[in-house]
Structure 1
Amino acid sequence: MPDLDPAADGPDVGARLRDLRRRQGMSARALADTLGISPSAVSQIERGVLQPSVSRLIAITDALGVPLAAVFEASAPDRDGAGTDAGFALQRAEHSSTVELDSGVTFRRLSPGPSPGIDYFESCYPPGASAHSETELFRHDGYEVGTMISGELTIDFEQERVVLRPGDAISFSCARPHRIHNTSAAPAVAQWLIVHPPR
């Protein structure tokens, strides 16, 4: 699998994906068939031997019918006791949940609680990192809105290339083939909102 590399130290993404798969009542073989990879590759991801790329992670959550936010560990309760029982959700900075993926790309959940139909997160792409290691473009469910915070990110579409710099914003259908990568010498940080179609 060209877009799967040995896992790095970090949150146990694989165990969380295995739990989500089991909750959906899907076998590892069925998931592998949906993704077009081997059951062994699914097993290695779930055991933490391989860390998924951004595109593989999104493909898995799409196949399971769960939002990307479901991958993040549940946040610790707020120390002040504020939460959904109080009519709002609050997440303190020290309880922010981050996952590390292939190529050192990190995702940090920004939404403090469940946000049905919406994934809101921050990504950090180290220099040279890509949403997946292949040069092909990929697509997934939803509609994406992104804002650059620092550094530069390049998005390749079928007929054009867009370079995002701090303060730039972009929106596009995730069904449009694309590839996100960092061709600069500095880390690239962006905030993303993915709006999912009703299931």
Structure 2
Amino acid sequence: MELEAVSNEHLGRRLRELRAESGKSLRAVARELGISPSAVSQIERGLMRPSVSRLIAYVSAIGVPLAAVFDVPEHKEPRPGLAVRRAGEVAPIRLSGGVTFRRLSPGPTPDVEFFESTYPPQAISNAHGQFLRHEGYEVGTVTAGELTIEFETEIVTLSEGDSITFPCSRPHIIGNRSGTVTAVATWLIVHA
């Protein structure tokens, strides 16, 4: 059973909680993102859905990994060195343009994030056309459709089964140029 995507309100509430825990003010985050405090407030109240790049910039600005946005399942009896997450325990996050992120790792893992991203036809990671850069090293494999990763000096198109790796500090935009086929990829982001 697949869970419904996290609502805008739930995502906004979680981002607000994480910002508060970080000690950063709404204005400070707005300044770092290069947007108005009103826009940050709209995201945190669930009135505006962020793009992939805006979400990643937001969590970078408050110093938390993307995985922190996902709720951790109710605490169960821990098993030393073992974590299990059953299908349907963590809801995906739907971002602007219909892009969906789903955490694949069974729980928080130090210095590593493991996600699946789904890009519907014509969806891109940043509707504003600005290149994204963040911390870490990215490894991705396309599991369905085609994704295009645009760098400042080149464009790489990946088909099903193709993989890529690059430093996240290299400015990039990820998109699905197909008009009819949804693209899906798994991503491993290493922060060590």
TM-score calculated relative to the size of structure 1:
0.88
Q: Specify the SS of the correspondent of 2:79.
A: helix
Overall identity of the aligned pairs, in %: 56
Q: Whole-Å Cα distance in 1 between the matches of residues 80 and 191 of structure 2?
A: 27
Residue aligning to 2:38: 40
Matched, 1:193 2:162: no
Residue aligning to 2:115: 121
Spell out, residue by residue over 1:110-146, the C-alpha distance to the aligned partner (whole angstroms, 9 max, x if none).
0001101111100000001000102232211111000
Given candidates 24, 27, 48, the residue that maps to 1:26 is: 24
> After the TM superposition, which residues 2-81 of structure 1 pair with which residues of structure 2 at under 5 Å, given as runs?
10=7, 12-76=10-74
Matched, 1:157 2:155: no
Q: Specify the SS of the correspondent of 2:71.
A: coil
User: Number of residue pairs matched?
Assistant: 186
Deviation of 1:76 (Å): 4.3
Tell whether the 8 Å contact from 2:6 to 2:93 is kept in structure 1 after alignment.
Answer: no
Matched, 1:104 2:98: yes
Q: Whole-Å Cα distance in 1 between the matches of residues 100 and 109 of structure 2?
A: 20
Alpha carbons of structure 1 residues 62 and 121: separation in structure 2 relative to 1, 3 Å: same
Residue type of the alignment partner of 1:46: E
Tell whether the 8 Å contact from 2:6 to 2:91 is kept in structure 1 after alignment.
Answer: no
Spell out, residue by residue over 1:28-57, the C-alpha distance to the aligned partner (whole angstroms, 9 max, x if none).
011111111111011000000000100000
Q: Whole-Å Cα distance in 2 between the matches of residues 10 and 60 of structure 1?
A: 18
Give 4+ residue runs of structure 1 displaced > 3 Å after superposition: 83-87
Matched, 1:145 2:139: yes
Tell whether the 8 Å contact from 2:71 to 2:90 is kept in structure 1 after alignment.
Answer: no
Given candidates 165, 174, 181, the residue that maps to 1:171 is: 165
Q: Specify the SS of the correspondent of 2:170.
A: coil
Q: Whole-Å Cα distance in 2 between the matches of residues 76 and 152 of structure 1?
A: 36
Q: Which runs of no fewer than 5 residues in structure 2 stay unpaired?
A: none
Tell whether the 8 Å contact from 1:105 to 1:126 is kept in structure 2 after alignment.
Answer: yes
Residue type of the alignment partner of 2:129: T
Q: Specify the SS of the correspondent of 2:131.
A: coil
Tell whether the 8 Å contact from 1:76 to 1:95 is kept in structure 2 after alignment.
Answer: no
Give the root-mean-square deviation of aligned CA atoms. 1.6
Residue aligning to 1:135: 129
Spell out, residue by residue over 1:53-77, the C-alpha distance to the aligned partner (whole angstroms, 9 max, x if none).
0000000111111000000112245
Q: Specify the SS of the correspondent of 2:19.
A: helix
